[in-house]
Every structure is written in structure tokens, then in C-alpha cells.
A and B are shown apart, each in its own frame.
Chain A
Amino acid sequence: MRKLLQTTPEKITKKELIVRCWVLFYTFFKIALFVVGGGLAMLPVIEEVFLRKHKWLNKKEILDMVILTQTVPGLIAVNASLYVGSRIAGFIGSVAALIGVMIPSLLIICSIAYFFPDLSPNNPYITSGFSGIRAAVTGVFAITAWRLGKEIIHSVWDGLIILILLILLLANVYPLYVIVLSMPVGFFLILKKQKKLFFKEKKHE
């Protein structure tokens, strides 16, 4: 457990630790306050600040951060802030960074929700503006699906698996179960591939 909490690479003084925690909190607060577009849009800004400006992280650690956001379930922004925080100032640092990421959301959303509680207003301009954005979001999602699909679908089988999962979702199966169901499928495919490689190696021998 002790090893788990001491993830900082070098020993630092107490004063330095406080300074680092403050910078972490402040930076992540600023990123969450100004970067629009979710966690993926934040990653380049994090790299800019901690790799180029402060030089507290190296290239390998940035790469590890990206791997972590894809391996550990949860929001990208949260995963990234936890990793960067723990590398720079240990456990306290990651708590500071996490609080920095969360506070702007709480402040902005609670104030919007407090002053504009009506989510389906009657003003025709606002209504048409909203339906315009919803249409644009449909298009943006279609682009994301297109790009992801191009990356993942290599054969008819890949397409078929996705189609079956989509039909399950459309048939009102609870989405959580669909995600859980997809895990053993992936595991099975990986095992099959490994087996094939194994036999190929044997033949070579």
C-alpha cells in the first residue's frame, strides 16, 4: 500500500510539494474551465503544460497517460488528472488535480441549472436553435462512428459483431449488459488469435 501511494519519481521537500499541488490544482481548474469538448480535447493541453512548459513529465509518461485513459474505465479527464497528479506529487497531487477538474463543472452547471431550470423552453428561436444543435450532434456522432468503424472493422466478422450488438441495443436490452456481453467476445477472439500464432510457431520449429 505504501508503495502504491509513493509514486513520485524523486524525493521532494514539503514546500516544493505544496507548490506542485497548487500548480496541479490551478492548471487542471483552468483546463476544465476553458477547454470545451470533453476529455479528449484536454489531453493536448495537458501535454503542452506539463511536458513543454513545466518539464515535469517526459514523453514516455505522456504516452502512459494516454494508455491509462484507454485501459481504465471512467472519464478521460479524470483518468488523466489522476495520473499526472500522482506522477508529479504523489497521492496528494492526484487529489489536487482531480478536485481541480471537478470544481468548474460543478460551478458552471449548477449556476446554469439554477438560473435556467426550464430545459424545454417555449421561445421559438431557442427551440429551433436547440434542434439545430441536436441535428449537428447527430452528424458529429456519425463522423465519430465512421472513424471508429474504419479503425476497428477489418473483416465481415467484425462488422457482424457490431451489427448484432446494435440490434440488441435497438431491441431495448439494457446497454450495460451489452457492454458486459462484449467483453467475453473480445476475450474469445484474442484467445483464438493467440492459438493460431502458437500453432504457426510450432510448425516453424
Chain B
Amino acid sequence: MSSLFLFCQFAKFSVVLFGGGYMIIPLLMTTFVEENPVFSLDAFGNLLVLSQITPGAVSLNTATWIGFTQRGIIGALAASLGLVLPTVFLSFCAITVLDRLEKTLFMQGILKGVRYAGVAMICYAIVLFAGMSVFTQPVPWRRLVDFITAGASLQGFAVNPVETVIALLAFFSALKLRLSMIQIMISGALFGILLHLVF
């Protein structure tokens, strides 16, 4: 994977990332696990998780990491600049006309539509991450349909009880206790080690 390819890919992603980086996860998954299999699903999951718990902008961390594993320092620079440069250009265009831009029908329409896509993307990210934790393998939709309609076997696809408990705990502790994301993730790691020792 050349540095130029990395730069172009991340530049492409950065143009459609509206209001936050979590939308990038499905894009990265499709590009670097399915289309160009440079990471295994397991390794990629760990990479995403590590970029979340290291300080700094999450997507920038992910981009740097992917670039570094492919082409060393040059690759890391190419990937992170790819993610940043389109934003530099666009925000300089926007700063001067910000007051008017926000009120134009065109921009309002785009922002409204992208908000729907944002919810869909994060739901998809939940499915992807559930396939790496709550279930033993990525959700096999076709076999699942066969299973429900014809009772075919779901070989190798099952629920991990420990991870399910952690995911539910994380959900409810974020809802009720208002813990921060990093506190939840670190307790998730500790719970994971503890519960695997017990069971």
C-alpha cells in the first residue's frame, strides 16, 4: 500500500466526515479489512480500541497508526495529512462566510441528511463491534435468515456471555452514572480480565 494511496484514501474520508470522527469506522473497516485485507478483523479491532484510549483526536490516531504499519513514518505523515489538509482548505473557505453559510438552504439540507447517515453509521459500527465482542464472529446475515426460515445450523456463531455482560454494563453505566468514555473503557478492560480469570 503506497503512501500516495493512503493519502488519497484518507483525504476522501475527511470530506464526508461531518460533526465527529466516529463516522470513519465503517469506512476504514470496508477499506482496510474487506477491500484491501491488510489487517485481520481482530487486529483492526484492537487498533481502533487503542486509538480511542490514547490521548488526541481519535481518527487522527487511527490514521497515523494505519499509515505507520504500512509505510513507517512517511506513511503515518501521509495518512494524517490526508485526513487534515482538505479540512484546512474547506474551513478557510468557510470562516469568511460562516454566518451566511449556516443559513443557506443548501448547507442546511446537507447537514440534515448527513445527520441521518450519522445515526445509521454509528448503528453499523455497533454491529461491527458486537461481531468482535458480544458474538464469537461477525454477524452472518444470510445464514441468520436461513436459520430463522429453515432452521439451518449457525456453525461457529454464538454469544460470548462475558462480553455481553460488559457491553450491557457499559451501556447502563453511561446512561445512569454519567461516567466518561475513558472510565468506561478502562473498567471494561479490568472486567474483561477479571471475568475471564473466573470463568
Question: Which A positions have Cβ atoms within 8 angstroms of B?
Answer: 3-4, 7, 32-42, 64, 67-79, 82-83, 86, 91, 94, 98, 101-102, 104-106, 108-110, 112-114, 117, 119-120, 124-125, 128-146, 148-149, 152-153, 158, 161-162, 165-166, 168-170, 172, 174-176, 178-191, 194
Instruction: Kindly provide the distance from the CB of B57 to the nearest chain A CB, expressed in whole angstroms.
Output: 4
Q: How far is A72 from B95 in the complex, measured between Cα atoms in Å? A: 10
Residue among B54, B64, B141, B182 facing the most chain A CB atoms (10 A cut-off) = B64
Contacts of B118 in A (CB 8 A): 148
Question: Which B positions have Cβ atoms within 8 angstroms of A?
Answer: 12-23, 26-27, 30, 34, 39-40, 42-61, 64-65, 68-69, 73, 76-77, 80, 83-84, 86-88, 90-92, 94-96, 98, 101-102, 105-127, 129-130, 132-134, 141, 160, 162-164, 166-171, 174-175, 180-182, 184-185, 187-193, 195-196
Select from chain A the residue with minimum beta-carbon distance to B169: A139
**With contacts A39-B21, A187-B109, A190-B108 known, what are 5 further pairs, Cβ within 8 A?**
A71-B107, A74-B83, A86-B92, A179-B16, A185-B116
Would you call A75 and B17 a contact (CB within 8 A)? yes
Would you call A136 and B98 a contact (CB within 8 A)? no
Would you call B167 and A39 a contact (CB within 8 A)? no
Q: How far is A172 from B91 in the complex, measured between Cα atoms in Å? A: 32
Contacts of A180 in B (CB 8 A): 16
Residue among A32, A78, A133, A140 facing the most chain B CB atoms (10 A cut-off) = A133
* Given known contacts A71-B94, A149-B119, A169-B120, A139 and B112 CB-to-CB distance under 8 angstroms: no
